[in-house]
Amino acid sequence: MSVILKERSGSVLLITLNRPEVLNAFNNEMFEELENSLKEVEEDKSIRTVIITGNGKAFASGGDLNEIKELNFETGMRKARKAQKLFDYIENFPKPIIAAINGYALGGGLELAIACHLRIASENAKLGQPEINIGIIPGFGGTQRLPRLIGKTLAFEMILSGKPITAQRAYEIGLVNRVVKSEELINEAKELAQLLAEKPPIAVKCTIESINSGIDAPLEEGMKIEASLFGACCSTYDKNEGISAFLEKRKPIFKGE
């Protein structure tokens, strides 16, 4: 059985990590299948939003320990860089990716979730970076993305203690967008995904690029990035369609052109 399951619903694709027997721990095969699936989505203009979730009790529990225990300095660094490259691809993906966090999101699982653009957690979810407990540090972007999301002080606490936090605590510190009942998680994610899928694709892509490119830049440089992407949106069919639809009091039909 595939370690990645895909379910299409209109313009939304649900990707399910499918190694429930090991709490969806990442192995090399899962990384490759996830990357290949996203490359297909990027080329398919009819898919406008992606949801990533996990099968069973976990979103993802981190790297496969059977693989990690064999790593040395060189192979460990290569593995980290490969995972970082994939998660960078996710962070800068031109279509919104929503993490629907069911159960455990630990280690690399949390690193995957925080690379996504939006996060919805089930009320029973546990989120953490427990790598320190086995003598390593987060290697898939956790020491870099987590402080940018929740601040340096809270990131130090999560990473140095290795203790997971509840979904409610994750919401309080801005780590997730919302917390919902477990049985409502996928429907909530699909509703949000469908809402985003109805937005103009070029403006969505430019929003992602503007925020990601400008967030660590000096303010003036960020403003220049925003102005350039604003100009790009102004030259599209979708801009004209959006304004016409608003004035005519009808629903716009965006084409991504």
Flag whether pLDDT at 118 surpasses 80. Answer: yes
| CA neighbor of 104 nearest in space, from 83, 87, 121, 119 | 121
Q: Is residue 157, in this structure, part of any structural domain at all?
A: yes
Flag whether pLDDT at 63 surpasses 90. Answer: no
pLDDT band at 64; cut points 50, 70, 90: confident
pTM metric for this prediction: 0.95
| CA neighbor of 240 nearest in space, from 227, 257, 223 | 257
How many structural domains does the chain have? 2
Q: Is residue 256, in this structure, part of any structural domain at all?
A: no
Q: Is residue 255, in this structure, part of any structural domain at all?
A: no
CATH number at residue 119: 3.90.226.10
Percent of the chain at pLDDT exceeding 70: 100
CATH number at residue 205: 1.10.12
Is 243 found in the same domain as 168? no
Mean pLDDT over residues 64-91, rounded? 93
Mean pLDDT over residues 75-82, rounded? 94
Q: Is residue 141, in this structure, part of any structural domain at all?
A: yes
Is 127 found in the same domain as 215? no
Average pLDDT, the chain: 95
pLDDT of 152: 97
Is 159 found in the same domain as 73? yes
Q: Which residues are catalytic?
A: 111, 131
pLDDT band at 66; cut points 50, 70, 90: confident
Is 117 found in the same domain as 210? no
Flag whether pLDDT at 1 surpasses 80. Answer: no
Could you tell me if 132 and 80 are in contact, meaning their C-beta atoms sit under 8 angstroms apart? no
Q: Is residue 192, in this structure, part of any structural domain at all?
A: yes
Is 167 found in the same domain as 124? yes
Flag whether pLDDT at 72 surpasses 80. Answer: yes
| CA neighbor of 54 nearest in space, from 85, 79, 30, 81 | 30
Partners of 51 in the β-ladder: 14, 98
Is 42 found in the same domain as 151? yes
Mean pLDDT over residues 12-32, rounded? 94
Which domain range does residue 206 map to? 201-247
Percent of the chain at pLDDT exceeding 90: 94
Q: Is residue 40, in this structure, part of any structural domain at all?
A: yes
The angle at the Cα of 103, spanning 26 to 182, to the nearest 5 degrees, equals 140
Is 72 found in the same domain as 183? yes
C-alpha dihedral sign at 188, 189, 193, 196: positive
